[in-house]
Amino acid sequence: MQARPEVRRQDRLLDEAGQERLLDTGEYGFLAMNTGQGGYGIPINFVREKTGDGADRIYFHCAPEGRKLDALAADNRASFCVVGATQVVPDKFTTAYESVIVSGRIASNLDADERRAALRLLVKKYCPGLIEKGEKYMEASFHRTHILRLDIEHRTGKTKRVMPRA
């Protein structure tokens, strides 16, 4: 994926490998949606899947009702931001950071097989030593768990590295 031209500071673009790393290892991100009456954003856990056919997508789990789903029913476009390492550098009046922002459309009516596969990916990411227990938990709560899939259409990343003073 290429960086979008509206990135003002081209010298701060995070390369593709850095973007992929943040999307694969980030603990949580911020999902932003349009409610029709303004923006709505939430911090949320996620897992990224890059399929064999080149599709790049992010899965989220949530309750089967609520403001997020209402917003997405009205407008399924969303953006999602993951912030990696940050460090305030007081003597330079700046902050070192890395981040990636993706945008695309969210699908919410996924079939049971895709929902289970997404939950397994989430368990593998967040609870790697508890796969068997996670499978049982997933089945027990499957009826009350909704899965969203963000199909990534655009992606860009930024970074600022600060060299220490000599």
pLDDT digits (tens, 9 = 90+) for 137-159: 888 888 889 999 999 999 999 98
Residue 153 lies in a domain: yes
How far apart CA 121 and CA 1 sit, in angstroms, is: 23
Give the number of other Cβ atoms within 10 Å of residue 40's Cβ: 17
Contact present, 34 and 71 (Cβ < 8 Å): yes
Q: Please, what is the average pLDDT of the chain?
A: 88
Question: Token pair for residue 92?
Answer: 């330079």
Residue 57's CATH number = 2.30.110.10
C-alpha–C-alpha distance, residues 43 and 30, integer Å: 4
Given a contact cutoff of 8 angstroms between Cβ atoms, the answer to whether 96 and 162 are in contact is yes
pTM above 0.95, yes or no: no
Tell me which range, 1-5, 37-41, 118-122, is most confidently predicted by mean pLDDT.
Answer: 118-122
In a domain, 56, yes or no: yes
Nearest alpha carbon to residue 60 among 101, 121, 19? 121
The verdict on residue 134 lying in a domain is yes
Most confident of 5-14, 46-55, 157-166: 46-55
How many contiguous H segments (helices) and E segments (strands) does the chain have? 4, 8
Residue 72 placed within a domain? yes
Closest by CA position to 13, among listed 99, 103, 104: 99
In the chain, where do the E strands start and end? Answer: 29-34, 39-44, 47-50, 56-62, 77-83, 87-89, 94-107, 146-160
Segments forming the whole domain that contains residue 80: 10-160
Reported as a single tens digit per residue, the pLDDT across 22-73 is 999 999 999 999 987 888 999 999 999 988 787 899 999 998 888 899 999 9
What is the pLDDT at residue 6? 66
Report the C-alpha gap between 105 and 152 in whole angstroms: 7
pLDDT confidence bin for 2, thresholds 50/70/90 = very low
Whether the CB-CB separation of 116 and 88 falls below 8 Å is answered with: no
58 falls within a domain: yes
The verdict on residue 70 lying in a domain is yes
Tell me whether residue 3 is in a domain.
no
